[in-house]
Structure 1
Amino acid sequence: MKNNQPLMDDGKTIIIKSTVTKDPATHLSSTSSSLQYTASKEDMASQFTCMAKHVLGPDQVSSAEIFPIHYPTEKVSLQVLSPSPIREGDNITLKCQADGNPPPTSFNFNIKGQRVTVTNKDIYTITGVTRADSGVYKCSLLNKDEMESTQIVTVSFLDVSLSPKGNVVKKVGESLVVSLEKNSSAEAKVTWTKDKRTLDKLPSFSNLTYSEAGLYECDVSIEGIRRTFFFKLTVEGTPKIRSLTKHRSTDGKHKVLTCEAEGSPQPDVLWSVNGTNDQMSYVQGKATYKLTVVPSKNLTVTCEVTNKLGSDKKDISVFSRKY
């Protein structure tokens, strides 16, 4: 029996011979049987037993036997044990395996054309790899180079250069060229943000405005590697008053003057008269100043705005009577 299935004599790979002898004195019979079996590597775990049957008793089954089957190596397999992606500076561990019994214990590793022999082990490690270590790796049997296995190993890398970077100061109306250069082992994903808000594309500045000032960040990534760069753009300009207006307060007793200007750094304001309820706002280079006055006579009021680059001023007439 093989794995509890009966074997049949085929005269070639399975030959069974049986003999029966009879004791002349006791007339008892003795039966013996021999099996000649041509094994294959599939029989590594096969269990062989013999069974004796008799009409007057239960079947008798021998204990199972498992035989060591020796066979030559037919297949070599190379594995990359290091997790993907492999980045510059990582280690690459290669494992060479082969079938056969007994299995091989020593191998040749072909490291991009350079042979390395390892004995009594099946692992080889390359430490601190660089992009130059990308390529074809092989392993084979010591005495049979043609029986080999191949793996392609890619070492991931990402080189990025951004211009400009750091703090950038430009004048309003000027241009600014932003250049991003990248070199990578795979197609890189690029994301731009301004003041943490996502942009659709790489920023371009042909005629700078105050609203374009801000913190620009560039995130470049491939699987397993990420690079982040930034530049902070400051747009400066001489203050310019865009409008100087007046209107009556809601209670009709005061005059509210509004002076709107552009400039960077943020301009300081100087009014030619005293007033109350001074208000000021400054957003993206635009400044708004408000002054509440109670004129006792007709006045000419001057709004003057100043920063380190220069100044501008504008006058407005304010009448004491209601209007």
Structure 2
Amino acid sequence: DARTFVCQVGVGSQDVAENRTDLRVYKIPETPEILAYSGGISVQSSEIPEIARCVSRNSFPPPSITWHKNEEQLQPDEKTVKVLATVTRESSGLYTVSSTLFAHVAREDANSLYHCTVHHWVRGQRRSVDSQRVNVTVFYPMQHVRLWVMPSSALVKEGDDVKLVCEADGNPPPVFSFYKRELEDNWQDLSSLVDSNSGVLNLPNVNKNSSGLYRCQTLDLDDMTQMEKDVELVVNWKPRIVAISSPLYVRQDEVVNLTCKAIAFPRPSVHWNINGTAHEYVENQHIASNLTVRVSHDLLRAGAMCRVSNALGVSEKHIQLLDQKTPESKGVIIVAIIVCILVVAVLGSVIYFLHKKGKIPCGRAGKQDM
């Protein structure tokens, strides 16, 4: 029905007048349908990839379609943006218009929203209808890797359940592997303890042996790029006294060194229950305290107490002091024993000599005389 109508008016056969009018028919299109590309789109694609397809149905006359990214209209060009449109006239006389957007993407487009707008005419006025907003999956290589301890490494104590979380900024996510440094810079593979796709290493019920340097290694399966990140796990534990100088043999008034060695983290403080001159030595998580004291009667009787403490607990142990006899007293005892032995030997010799001379009568002879 969209055509030009002519009206003619005539008087007789010679005077004829006419006028024309155009009848325009408008059919508002349906809400446009938009379908985003279902696969991933790589930022490294050499060809301009497809982003989405937009379809406008049942309109008259045929509408036009424009594309927008983050509410800004995209302008076609040969290198970055292309639009392919097709117009189909249905049997009803109405039009279906399809438009496909091709465009290069960047990392930032992972959060971009695309939509199409259908422009049509109604009574001489241009109208427009927007489609829904869609997002596409963007594939891009990783540039950074993060590795951290949950909960915070400064708060980890023995018995806690700890997670090491590794995160890479690539998409799709890379394959994760975990390692722990051992002696001589050897690395223990912990990948069997983790889901390679999750990037989370679970360490339940940690102890002091769990402390150390951990490494997360990532592998991008798209371009086989590897990256890695290290983190130090420090497990805090309450003190344990591992060595003391007990029992200790001493002499009264002697100057001696009392030793107390403990292991803990954070570094503990060492206290003695007696006065003296203390010296501390630290090696790794070991701390040793040497206390120089003069042995008194009370110290010899009661001994000494070593007390080691930090924010997680306290450990105490008693040092026993035993009286050690002086070398002089030992010598006197030895001499006395030797003298006793000599006296007995001399006395035995005298008795034997007198018996041989007959000075000492035997018991049986005496009985005969009686």
What TM-score do the two structures reach when normalised by structure 2?
A: 0.44
Q: Determine which structure has the larger helix proportion and give its number.
A: 2
For the pair shown, the structure with the greater C-alpha radius of gyration is 2
Q: Determine which structure has the larger strand proportion and give its number.
A: 1
